[in-house]
A = this chain, B = another copy of it.
Amino acid sequence: MHLYESIIPSGNVYKIQLLLTHLGINYETTSLDILATPSKTRTESFLKLNPSGQIPVLVLDDGTPLAQSNAIIYYLAENTPYLPSDKLGRHKVLEWLFFEQNSIEPYVSVYKFHTYWGDLGALSEGERNKLKERGQLAIDVMERHLEGREWFVDEVFGVADVALYGYVVHAEVIGYSVGSRVKAWLKRVEGVEGHVPIKKDPTGKCPL
């Protein structure tokens, strides 16, 4: 398999790397400069892999390109211990995957990007507040869900945990409030055998 990622660390890319590592699947990578103008994800050749011009893209050994981080990890997890085998269990996983892409990623990811690589000062106070408020609401939903639970679905580490971990792991350091249950869950994810952290930023702009 071949993973198209970005030079700077991306939570969406990292989800795939984390799951591939747990699955024991080897892969090669190509790193694209998404900070270039235009972004290197807007070239003719990359748009053939993913017409939306977004990383990550995972190219299977037969040449098939897969896009959308959470769709990719769902695909990889089918028929493995990281995805429930029953229909309702799979639905519960998809609920969290859509929640992550709709209620967390558009806010926490954008706020993180502007904190380190964009320009947080270029956003109006209203824009910054909205990114903080909406992301916070979602993190608070996670905190409530974890009452009496160790993992997000079926009390076993799986693809919903992988998806949610990708950005929430850095939420507190960029200024979100993260409750004690979410913090304990982050530690549990990091304690799963074979865990790998997100890569360091080679540009040095992000100290994480």
Residues of A near any B CB (own CB < 8 A)? 51-53, 64, 66-71, 74-75, 78, 87-88, 91, 94-95, 97-99, 101-103, 105-106, 123-124, 126-127, 130, 138, 141, 144-145
Contact = CB atoms under 8 A, between A and B. Distances in A.
Nearest to A90: B75
Contacts of A88: 64
A94 B106 contact: no
Contacts of A87: 75, 78
B68 A94 contact: yes
Contact of A103 (B52, B74, B78, B141): B52
13 contacts: A51-B141, A51-B145, A66-B91, A67-B95, A68-B94, A68-B95, A71-B91, A71-B94, A74-B91, A75-B91, A78-B87, A101-B101, A102-B106
Contacts of A106: 102, 106
A68 B94 CA distance: 8
Contact of A71 (B64, B71, B95, B123): B95
Contacts of A145: 51
Contact of A127 (B52, B68, B97, B130): B130
